[in-house]
Structure 1
Amino acid sequence: MGVRGLQGFVGSACPHTRTAVNFKELAELHRSQHPGCAPTVVVDAMCCLRYWYTPESWVCGGQWREYFAALRDFVTAFTTVGIKLVFFFDGMVEQGKRAVWVRRRLKNNQEIARIFHYIKSHGEQPGRNMFFLPSGLAIFTRFALKTLGQETLCSLQEADYEVASYGLQHNCLGILGEDTDYLIYDTCPYFSISELCLDSLDTVMLCREKLCESLELSLADLPLLACLLGNDTVPEGLFESFRFQCLSSYTSARKNSDKRGNVILAVADHISKVLRLHQGEKKLEEMLPLGQNKALFYKGVASYLLPGQTSPWIFQKPKGITTLGKQIVSVSTDPEFKPESLVCTHPESKEETPVCTHPETEQEDPMNMEPEMKQQVTMVSDTEILKVARAQHVQAESYLVYGVMTSGEIECSNTLEDALDQALPSQAFVYRPMRQRVYSLLLGAGGGGASGGPVVQEWFVHSGNPLRHPDLVRPLPMNVPGGHTLPGGPARFYRSGPVPPRKITWAAYGLTGCWPGWCVSRHSSACARKEPLQSTDMMLEHVDPRAVQLGSLLVRGLSMLVLVNSACGFPWSSSDFMPWNVFDGKLFHEKYLQSERGYTAEVLVEQDRSRLTRFHDLKSIVCKACVREDRRIVSRQHWRPHHSGRWERQGSGSHRTNSGHSRSGRRQHWRDQGPGSRQREPDRWRRHSPSSGHPDEKEKQQPISLSP
């Protein structure tokens, strides 16, 4: 994230830009300077996830109750000294930054492959140097913070712009995060989350004014510098030759700077001593080798301008002023400059924010468009429904719904999945039937053959998917016997009869055609209602790669239940789907290992009759659902009694292989699937969902195999 190389440069070449501060002292100073105004810190939550996740175990699916307790401690530390916190989460990936998103996801795939290689080689969790966020952490952190009574917002674009804008407009004490873009925005002070000591509330403030002094630049020059160095909008390679020319003519290289640091100094020197000579006389494109990338470059510079700010590097055209909410951006006279993707949104503003599509015109916000206009830019034409969905999205109350209803596009980041284990399906495939039914609720199932009806673009990370294009997925029609409409939601909603929420949480895996349903419920029955500290000191005999993936699969399933609840107008309490109420990664792993060793159900539930009854109830629900879905449950290999509730596999003298390659021939279709259909619903999904091209076509499903 942020500007290429700037983080290291600030730490090594400009240490004076880093100042030790104390939040309690800053809050007292703020109150004295602004009486009646509570000191507020706006938090870039996505930058803080690694800092917040302190539990020792992370590879098994997450220690969620411990994580929730850590979040509570974080909030308490600030509120105790009278500091208000406002948390922002990324809500959507901007089209212009999709390539950056893809690049990071592919890099994460490599990290995950190393993690599974380590687990198979050592039988234990890797060290913190290989730490990877548990699946679903960002999603559930939103709900955890709301549960803790915190103001939690979800962005309608890249979150850093909205964080910087909120901090400026609300005169905040500062921004807490870890992104060098906050050194570029002309906004409130920027504090480092990685340097934060929670006990004392000491941290480091990174001062953009001191950075400007060191580089002999003004604050207004920083966006230009950022784009010339490369950021999430302007690719780093775009100006590689230009930076080399700057470095070649630069004569004041610092001995304490590495090559990258000297490049930053050289580019800053060129701005201050060359570009400024002709500032106001020549267009920027006449002084820089922009070529065909003028529009992209101007968009990059303008993306740092907050409401009310202008840039001296973008020429003003009398009849070409683009309005971005309360922001006026003077645009280039170049007709190729069309900042189509600049959509400024401010959740706290009472004014609706226009969408900028061309420098010559002012466009109204999609929320204020007429219905016929709305149909051109969104998947759903009802403006009232969109207003509700947008409000729920901004307030971080829903999950994925607004993206489906507006752009027809959603994404899901990496999951801890073993690309070499062909026996286990990716969560992208497992929960696709569930998502397809949600699409039907929100968009309608369409008809008229394979080419009819809406199509949702899914950017889901899974093995073998290069993410060059989205998977094109069509809705599946809802056909629930006795279903009836649920009031209060944004579209058509159905319910198959009264089912206790806790049973919905686990049984829905089977109800949606998910083959691990029975396996999940088998282990989960003993996972519920454990106190947070009961699994903290638990020592696992070893870490099993298959159990690691199953734990992540289960948590991703919980996030899909949040999607279902959001799409259905929240008929159930979201607390029933929160992992800290129903799941413990280490305990799940322990129960999986016990199950592998042949422990009976009675032993797995620790001789608790109520849990045993619940287990059999869940098993019954899932088995009936599998029958309805034409899925056949294949029993495990036969077990023979051994001793004291333990069983052994007949004919088995050793443990199964970790990689699962011996089973790859039988279930190769789950993994060897490629990236998905680009023009139509792919034929290969015929094995995994009750329909293929035509939404009404049914076919037999592959049998469910629960044997490892």
Structure 2
Amino acid sequence: MGVKGLQYFMDRCCPEACVTVNLREMARQQQASATAPHTNPTLVVDGMACLCYWYSCKDWACGGQWREYLDILKRWVEAFTSAGIRLVFFFDGVVEEQKRQEWVKRRRRVNGKISKIFCHIKEHGDQPGRELFCLPSGLATFTPFALRSLGQEVFCSVREADYEIASYARQHGSMGILGEDSDFIIYDSAPYLSVAKLRINSLTTVMYDRQRLCLTIGLAVTQLPLLACLLGNDVVSEEKMRDVRNNAMAAYRCISAAVLNRINRTLDFSVLFTTKSKLYLLLATFKLLKKGVCLYTLPGQKRPELCEISSLPSAFEKYVSPEILKVCYKGFMVYTVLCVGVTECSNTLEDEEDTELVPQALVYKPCRQLIYGLLLLLGHNGRIVDPPAIREWFVFPGNPLKEPDIVHPLPVSLPCDQPSLDLLWFSTGPDVAALRLTAFLTIFGCPEFSELHGVIEDSLLAALCLVTYLVLQVQTLSLEDVDSYLSQAVCLRLKSSQELQQIELPLFSSRAVQLGSLYVRGLSHLLGANCASGCPLPSAALMPWHSFDGRLFHSKYLLAHSGTEKTELLDHESSSLSLFLQLREKLTETCNKKGRVLQSRPNAPQSRPKTTTQTGYRHRHSGETHTLDTCFYLIISVHVNPGSLKVSINSFSSLGPFGTKFPCKHVA
């Protein structure tokens, strides 16, 4: 969530609460005092907050330099493990409905940035500077898999990620929480450590000390959740609390300092939640505050009266067995479909002015419907009276995001009696393995590719499957586009991370940027289909670092659309050329059978003189903050007794805005 302006306030007004710490020394001290001295100190990492710091590759608009990114993650992890620090990562698994409107606001803001990105590319023919930086599509999806491949422990949340992070850190006595969210100041959990101020070489950063903050502003730690709600966060908006703050200001001017001190010394926070005190707030305001405060109460802590404990949902438990529900959280896309009934996708680099290319959300909708069908309809043989529907929140040009799209699952037609999902997931044997592969390939319209399984690499089979699906769904894709996709998938196998980084692009094509993002989004659908089918392919084969590099794809796109000979397109490697032609023939044969005939439509972008752009983001900003508007910041404590509602204001400042954060535009 995040408390608007709190971290900025601490940086500027409470420097004594911002303590520079050495993580090696913290780990050493914790291990010395631990009851189990052979256990490495644990640092809980908010993975979503780290994405913009981890991804420092040169390219971000072409679709991502995934192998270089994997190398960066490896070095980052090694810096901590070499210091004896165990890392546990958390990533967002779901967006809770109470945060949906805030999620929508952020997605709309990023849409504006994406529009500027494409304007720049079409005008200047190059990638914009860091002031328009957006994370490559799919980064949040694939980073957990990258970290697991490095031997790290990774969790995807099944409710609010901040809550799960704070709960885990408190329960396991972790040395700290590394992230960039002021909610970790509010939670009474492990120390909050800033990833924005982390120096990886020295392992130093800033710890935001909640105890010192409370000492400075005259609050108890137990009052911080109420403070967070009064100031505004993702659940309790700043606007809805404006009247409460205005009343607080009026009361503050009428109460003497001695009375304020007495109130703070005797304040019983739980009094706010008694039936009598509720009468002194509007009922709607009271319920909103109660809901907000309860969200900060961790397991094992005393809950304010009237807090309700909600159980995890199972949206479609009548369609699947209890055994499926027990393990579904392990599968990408599967948990949100079966237990929440919602799927979502953040912003993608798509040009809203380009009417030729269909938005990725619509391109992959038929595929998702079959994934939903595999999960919810398999084995029912049409006997479902009230078929389920999935609510989709997908960001794409033209979608106002006022409400979710209601999408119904479609049955998957398999060449046998309809098996149950339990059989597909839990049974063994060659027949079941073949059935899993057939189910997976059928979702993408190419079951005949099963004959290639074991003949070509799994990553190439996945790439062929995906490109074939795109050709069948997007009528404007040309033979040159197919050559771009397949040649980069084949050539990538022989490229090192260093070679990929050294690829020079004479210019940027806005269309190639879109096709790169379209492909990476498709990899996430391959992953979802693979999980739903019982994992016929190893997950590693579906990772972008095995089948896609943005700069390599962009270079192949420029070559293919310029009429380059196939030998040059395949880097003069005879084995690569032979494999490329084999894949191309299989694709065109499959598409021809379905009435889709590929046409050659060269679309070479015209060279533009590269103009000098403004100084990039990293040159203009030497620190972790940026230029800010001025606004008032209130820190309030509330005391309610049966006779009156008394509000005191402990301090306020005019130094910064609400919502200051590292200016990273999340597209992942």
TM-score, length-scaled by structure 1:
0.75
Q: CA deviation at 1:499?
A: 2.7
Q: CA deviation at 1:236?
A: 1.7
| Contact 1:164/1:306 (<8 A) preserved | yes
Equivalent AA in structure 2 for residue 614 of structure 1: L
Structure 2 residue matching 1:506: 3-state secondary structure: helix
Q: CA deviation at 1:287?
A: 7.3
Q: C-alpha distance in 2, partners of 1:460/1:450? A: 27
Q: Which residue of 2 aligns with 1:304?
A: 296
Q: C-alpha distance in 2, partners of 1:529/1:451? A: 53
Q: Which residue of 1 aligns with 2:643?
A: none
Deviation string, structure 1 residues 436-462 (Cα, Å, up to 9, x no partner): 111111011789899963221111111
Structure 1 residue matching 2:100: 3-state secondary structure: helix
Distance 1:47 1:582, change over 3 A: same
Q: Which residue of 1 aligns with 2:345?
A: 412
Q: Which residue of 2 aligns with 1:697?
A: none
Q: Which residue of 1 aligns with 2:452?
A: 499
Equivalent AA in structure 2 for residue 466 of structure 1: P
Q: CA deviation at 1:237?
A: 1.1
Q: CA deviation at 1:105?
A: 1.0
Deviation string, structure 1 residues 556-577 (Cα, Å, up to 9, x no partner): 1111111111111111111111
Moved more, 536-545 or 158-167: 536-545
Structure 1 residue matching 2:196: 3-state secondary structure: coil
Seq. identity, %: 42
Equivalent residue in structure 2 for 1:384, among 307, 316, 323 = 323
| Runs of 4+ that moved beyond 6 A | 268-271, 445-451, 482-486
Deviation string, structure 1 residues 117-162 (Cα, Å, up to 9, x no partner): 1212221111122111100001110000000000011111011001
| Contact 1:441/1:493 (<8 A) preserved | no
Q: Which residue of 1 aligns with 2:571?
A: 606
Q: C-alpha distance in 2, partners of 1:600/1:17? A: 64
Equivalent AA in structure 1 for residue 300 of structure 2: G
Q: CA deviation at 1:196?
A: 0.6
Superposed counterparts of 1:194-593, under 5 Å = 194-248=196-250, 250=252, 272=264, 279=271, 283=275, 285-286=277-278, 289-310=281-302, 329-332=303-306, 339=308, 342-343=309-310, 355=311, 378=317, 380-390=319-329, 392=330, 398-444=331-377, 453-481=387-415, 489=425, 493=436, 495=438, 496=447, 497-500=450-453, 501-512=458-469, 513-515=472-474, 516=477, 518-519=482-483, 520-593=485-558
Structure 1 residue matching 2:393: 3-state secondary structure: strand
Q: CA deviation at 1:212?
A: 0.6
TM-score, length-scaled by structure 2:
0.79
Q: C-alpha distance in 2, partners of 1:85/1:541? A: 41
| Contact 2:459/2:541 (<8 A) preserved | yes
| Contact 1:521/1:615 (<8 A) preserved | yes
Q: Which residue of 2 aligns with 1:55?
A: 57
Q: Where does the alignment leave 5 or more consecutive residues of structure 1 unmatched?
A: 253-267, 311-328, 344-354, 356-364, 367-373, 393-397, 638-647, 657-708
Equivalent residue in structure 1 for 2:580, among 615, 635, 653 = 615
Deviation string, structure 1 residues 532-552 (Cα, Å, up to 9, x no partner): 000212221111111111111
Q: Which residue of 2 aligns with 1:3?
A: 3
| Contact 2:278/2:286 (<8 A) preserved | no
Q: C-alpha distance in 2, partners of 1:588/1:271? A: 65
| Contact 2:316/2:341 (<8 A) preserved | no
Q: C-alpha distance in 1, partners of 2:587/2:241? A: 57
Deviation string, structure 1 residues 237-276 (Cα, Å, up to 9, x no partner): 1111221333355469xxxxxxxxxxxxxxx999848976
Structure 1 residue matching 2:560: 3-state secondary structure: helix
Deviation string, structure 1 residues 322-344 (Cα, Å, up to 9, x no partner): xxxxxxx3423xxxx7x4xx54x
Equivalent AA in structure 2 for residue 621 of structure 1: K
Structure 1 residue matching 2:351: 3-state secondary structure: coil
| Contact 1:378/1:408 (<8 A) preserved | no
CA RMSD, Structure 1 to Structure 2 (Å) = 3.0
Structure 2 residue matching 1:152: 3-state secondary structure: strand
Q: Which residue of 2 aligns with 1:18?
A: 18
Q: CA deviation at 1:619?
A: 1.5
| Contact 1:38/1:84 (<8 A) preserved | yes
Distance 1:222 1:634, change over 3 A: same
Equivalent AA in structure 2 for residue 15 of structure 1: P
Distance 1:231 1:606, change over 3 A: same
Structure 1 residue matching 2:530: 3-state secondary structure: helix
Q: CA deviation at 1:71?
A: 0.4
Q: Which residue of 2 aligns with 1:120?
A: 122
| Contact 2:393/2:405 (<8 A) preserved | yes
Distance 1:525 1:377, change over 3 A: closer
Q: CA deviation at 1:108?
A: 1.1
| Contact 1:379/1:404 (<8 A) preserved | no
Equivalent AA in structure 2 for residue 608 of structure 1: E
Moved more, 601-610 or 149-158: 601-610
Q: C-alpha distance in 2, partners of 1:225/1:270? A: 19
Equivalent AA in structure 2 for residue 424 of structure 1: L
Deviation string, structure 1 residues 311-365 (Cα, Å, up to 9, x no partner): xxxxxxxxxxxxxxxxxx3423xxxx7x4xx54xxxxxxxxxxx1xxxxxxxxx6
Equivalent AA in structure 2 for residue 503 of structure 1: L
Q: CA deviation at 1:521?
A: 2.1
Larger RCO (CA under 8 A, 6+ residues apart) = 2
| Contact 2:99/2:234 (<8 A) preserved | yes
Structure 1 residue matching 2:178: 3-state secondary structure: strand
Q: Which residue of 1 aligns with 2:27?
A: 27
Q: C-alpha distance in 2, partners of 1:286/1:421? A: 54
Q: C-alpha distance in 2, partners of 1:293/1:595? A: 61
Q: C-alpha distance in 2, partners of 1:240/1:596? A: 57
Q: C-alpha distance in 1, partners of 2:368/2:92? A: 21
| Contact 2:460/2:490 (<8 A) preserved | no
Q: C-alpha distance in 1, partners of 2:404/2:262? A: 41
| Contact 1:190/1:207 (<8 A) preserved | yes
Deviation string, structure 1 residues 432-486 (Cα, Å, up to 9, x no partner): 1211111111011789899963221111111010111111112223235579969
Q: C-alpha distance in 1, partners of 2:496/2:414? A: 37
Q: Where does the alignment leave 5 or more consecutive residues of structure 2 unmatched?
A: 255-259, 428-434, 439-446, 609-668
| Contact 1:48/1:177 (<8 A) preserved | yes
Higher helix share: 2
